[in-house]
């Protein structure tokens, strides 16, 4: 069976792989050429610029906050313009007629949206319907039940790390904590942490599009494996329901409020949202605290400052750097006429460094009082469903880390992920 999209299961022929590889190479070389010529949007997608995107964000803000690009999509980088797009119902995540924005007209596989991630790629009314079905499980009061779970998991991870003395913050704390929590929330009885982490990483990398033929096949395997797990879990929860998210959604499935495909893709989204983003949040927070004089010491002296450290990280260096929207009708944005179906990148990380919204924005200060709310969890109809869970896990991880390891120090080079949308460390050597 031919691989119909980079994220679908099944083998491909050598000819199909060669054709796919050619398309990927052409797209990457074309984007790199534009980046070398100074195109700011193209630079966000290529090394070395995307390793530290903040100078590019500053350049976009300096030109009025809106950058037109020859890659076929614009970008906004001021707080005011980002908030305007996120809250304006004339913008959505699909084309005005409901089609996915990056599906090639000739039926070729999409290189920019290789995996269906449910709510991230839907507009109302389907987005509203699915969000309403999942929302009750993510209500803040219900999520407080998971605080004890997060504390228990964090304590065990820190015990193991302390016994070694030197450890990797990502591999030994920031990644396994949210993996285990989201597994319990989804009702997965026994989780293979390494496999679950691999799934989360693979699905997370799909947000940047397909990088290579090997990456396409990795996405195909991951989505196939995840579909098998969640389909089997649906049948188990139908026979033996519990208090978890999947049990709740099985009730909606049996009531005809959603399809099996919708349930499985929603579960995949919750895996990515519940793992990669929180992993990056914890990693980015500790990196900022450790690299800014006096900040880690302040948290170690008063671990109750952990919620403030979480919010400042979400402003200063958020785990999700940008999102995309499509104009559903002709409109005006930043003094520029936008035509129907024109796309725009909403640079929420750039908005967090906008001096018009956040005084002295390039300084990390865990005691900062944010008079202008950050946009790290997006806004409007697509405000992040897992915001409360991410805040809870980040606060628990930072508070307990400061309590248990007040002398924490970085012992080597922090290696960041090479990505555009998700930003965080990949390796972070530390010592207690």
* Residue 6 located in a structural domain: no
246 occurs within a structural domain: yes
- Residues 234-244 have pLDDT tens digits of 898 899 888 88
Give the pLDDT band of residue 193 (cuts 50, 70, 90).
low
Confirm whether 395 is domain-assigned.
Answer: yes
Answer for the pair 61, 357: CB distance below 8 angstroms, yes or no.
no
pLDDT, tens only, 356-372: 999 999 999 999 999 99
Answer yes or no: is pLDDT of 111 > 90.
Answer: no
Asked if 374 and 311 touch (Cβ cutoff 8 Å), the reply is yes
pLDDT of residue 187: 81
* pLDDT value, residue 189: 67
pLDDT tier at 108 (50, 70, 90 boundaries)? low
For residue 23, the domain's CATH number is 1.10.630.10
Give the structural domain span for 163.
Answer: 14-427
Q: Is residue 3 included in any domain, yes or no?
A: no
**Average pLDDT score over residue span 81-87:** 97
The predicted pLDDT at position 192 comes to 63
pLDDT of residue 7: 42
Q: Is the pLDDT of residue 110 over 60?
A: yes
Residue 8, domain member (yes or no): no
User: What pLDDT is stored for residue 267 in this prediction?
Assistant: 84
Per DSSP, helices labelled H in 116-212 are 126-134, 140-143, 145-164, 169, 176-186, 193-205
pLDDT surpassing 70 at residue 2? no
In three-state secondary structure terms, 202 is helix
Per-residue pLDDT band for 107 (boundaries 50, 70, 90) equals low
Calculate mean pLDDT across residues 131-159.
87
Average pLDDT across the chain, whole number: 89
Classified as helix, coil or strand, 251 is helix
From the list 247, 228, 203, the residue with the least C-alpha distance to 114 is 203
Residues with Cβ within 8 Å of residue 328, at least 6 apart in sequence:
90, 91, 92, 96, 340, 341
Nearest to 182 by CA among 173, 193, 172, 198: 193
pTM of the shown model:
0.91
Helices (H), 165-259: 169, 176-186, 193-205, 213-239, 245-254
- Tell me whether residue 87 is in a domain: yes
The count of domains in the chain is: 1
Closest CA to 397 of 220, 240, 234, 169: 169
CA neighbor of 132 nearest in space, from 275, 247, 261, 258: 258
Q: Is residue 243 part of a domain?
A: yes
Residue with tokens 């979480």: 310
Order across the sheet with 91-92: list the strands.
Answer: 66-67, 73-76, 343-346, 323-327, 91-92
* Per-residue confidence band for 8, with pLDDT thresholds at 50, 70 and 90: very low
Contacts of 394 (CB under 8 A, 6+ apart): 278, 281, 282, 285, 306, 310, 313
pLDDT (0 to 100) of residue 308: 98
Note the pLDDT tens digit of each residue in 247-274: 889 989 999 999 999 998 888 788 777 7
């Amino acid at each position: 069976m031919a691989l119909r999209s980079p994220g679908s299961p099944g083998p491909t022929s050598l000819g199909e792989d060669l054709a796919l590889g050619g398309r990927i190479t052409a797209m990457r070389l074309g984007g790199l050429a534009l980046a070398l010529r100074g195109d700011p949007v193209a630079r966000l997608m290529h090394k070395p610029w995307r390793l530290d995107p903040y100078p590019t964000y500053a350049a976009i803000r300096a030109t009025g906050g809106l950058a037109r690009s020859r890659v076929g999509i614009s970008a906004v980088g001021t707080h005011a313009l980002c908030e305007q797009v996120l809250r304006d119902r004339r913008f959505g995540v699909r084309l005005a007629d409901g089609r996915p924005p990056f599906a090639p007209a000739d039926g070729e596989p999409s290189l920019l949206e290789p995996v269906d991630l449910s709510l991230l790629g839907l507009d109302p009314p389907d987005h509203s319907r699915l969000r309403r079905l999942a929302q009750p499980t993510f209500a803040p009061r219900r999520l407080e039940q998971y605080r004890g779970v997060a504390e228990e998991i964090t304590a065990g991870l820190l015990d193991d790390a302390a016994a070694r003395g030197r450890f990797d913050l990502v591999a030994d704390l920031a990644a396994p904590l949210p993996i285990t929590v989201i597994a319990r929330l989804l009702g997965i009885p026994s989780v293979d942490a390494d496999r679950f982490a691999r799934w989360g990483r693979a699905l997370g990398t799909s947000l940047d599009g397909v990088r290579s033929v090997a990456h396409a096949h990795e996405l195909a395997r991951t989505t196939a494996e995840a579909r098998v797990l969640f389909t089997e879990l649906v049948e188990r929860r139908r026979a033996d329901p519990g208090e978890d998210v999947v049990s709740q959604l099985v009730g909606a499935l049996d009531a005809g409020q959603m399809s099996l495909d919708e349930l499985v893709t929603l579960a995949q989204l919750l895996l990515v949202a519940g793992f990669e983003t929180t992993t990056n949040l914890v990693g980015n927070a500790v990196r900022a605290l450790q690299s800014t004089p006096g900040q880690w010491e302040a948290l170690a002296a008063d671990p109750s400052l952990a919620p403030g450290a979480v919010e400042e990280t979400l402003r200063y260096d958020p785990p999700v750097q940008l999102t995309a929207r499509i104009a559903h009708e002709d409109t005006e944005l930043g003094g520029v006429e936008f035509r129907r179906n024109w796309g725009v990148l909403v640079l929420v990380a750039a908005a967090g460094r906008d001096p018009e919204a956040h005084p002295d924005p390039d300084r990390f200060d865990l005691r900062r009082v944010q008079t202008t709310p950050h946009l790290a969890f997006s806004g409007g109809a697509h405000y992040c469903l897992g915001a409360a869970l991410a805040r809870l896990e980040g606060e628990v991880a930072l508070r307990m880390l400061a309590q248990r390891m007040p002398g924490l120090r970085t012992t080597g080079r922090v290696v960041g992920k090479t990505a555009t949308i998700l930003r965080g460390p990949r390796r972070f050597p530390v010592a207690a």
